[in-house]
Amino acid sequence: MHWGWHLVRAPAAFADHGYCASDPWIVTYKESKSKQGNENGTLHPNQTGQTKIANAVYTAVEPVVLAG
């Protein structure tokens, strides 16, 4: 903790769900071009990746928020 901040790391499971994985948790170049018409979404977390990150953040902050 530094300056009141708590580091929340991306789930370690992301290591098995990268760009070349059969089940990536990130947006590929092809998906970005197809879904939004440009490459700007490439490598951003996809819906599954966002959910995994949200769960990690929730798990990290829940005790702090509940402590109150």
Residue ranges making up the domain that contains 50 = 12-67
Find all residues with CB under 8 Å of 45, minimum gap 6, and list them. 25, 26, 27, 52, 53
Structurally, the chain folds into a number of domains equal to 1
Instruction: Quote the pTM value.
Output: 0.79
- Residue 4 belongs to some domain of the structure: no
Q: How confident is the prediction along the chain (68 residues), in pLDDT tens digits per residue?
A: 567 787 888 888 889 999 999 999 999 999 999 999 999 999 999 999 999 999 999 998 888 888 86
> In this structure, is residue 17 part of a structural domain?
yes
Nearest to 17 by CA among 7, 8, 5, 27: 27
The pLDDT, as a whole number, for residue 11 is 86
